[in-house]
Structure 1
C-alpha cells in the first residue's frame, strides 16, 4: 500500500529536522533506546498529530525520504568532473540541515546480481 506524501511547508520541514535531531534515539544506533520500537512509535505518532491531516506513516515516509535524499546528495557531492552537477537551493538546504546524520549512515556496497553472475558463467562455458 502506497502512502500519499504529506505536503510540509519549508518552515515545518525545518522544525521537523530540528525535532528529529533532538531525538537521537530515532537515528543513533548506539543510543540505549534506539531499539525501543514502542518509544519510537510513540514519539512519531505524537509528532504526526501536531500536523493537521498528517498520519504516522506519512511522517515516517517523510523522514526516511529526507535521510535517503541526504545520503544520495552527500555521495554525489564527492563526484568530480562531468559526473558533478550543480546543487539546487533545496538540495543545499537538505545537506546543511541533515548533516547531523552523516556519521550514522552506513553505506552497503551493492553486490552483483546472482542471476547475472550465473548467466555470465553459463555464457563462458559455451565459448
Structure 2
C-alpha cells in the first residue's frame, strides 16, 4: 500500500483525460472525464502557467487516417496519408505546398493546434 503523502511534500500528478463538456469560460472551469464514472471539474488553466504542463494528445475528431482532410488553426488544409513505414496508424499530414509532418506534431504545436477534421476519407470505391 502506498504511504500517505506528507504535508509540504512536492508531487507530480499525471493523468490523461477527455474534455467532457464545452469549457465554461464565464465560470472559469471545464470538466474532464477520467473514466465513464469519474469526472473532474478544474479551473481553466493554460500550458505555461507555473508548474503546469498541458499537452494535446488526440484531436476531438479522433486520430487522422489516410484519405482525410484536416485543418490547423491557421485554416491551412492538411491531407492525411500513410506514413513512411506503411503503418496506417502513423498517418502523416501533407500540405498542398509539400510540407509533410507527423500529425501529432501539428496537433500539439502551440500556434497550429488543435487540428480539426474537415472531410472524412472517401468510401471504398470513391463514393
Place the TM-score, normalised by the shorter chain, in its bin. under 0.3
| Structure with the greater alpha carbon radius of gyration | 1
TM-score (norm 2): 0.26
TM-score (norm 1): 0.26
Structure that is richer in strand per residue: 2
Structure that is richer in helix per residue: 1
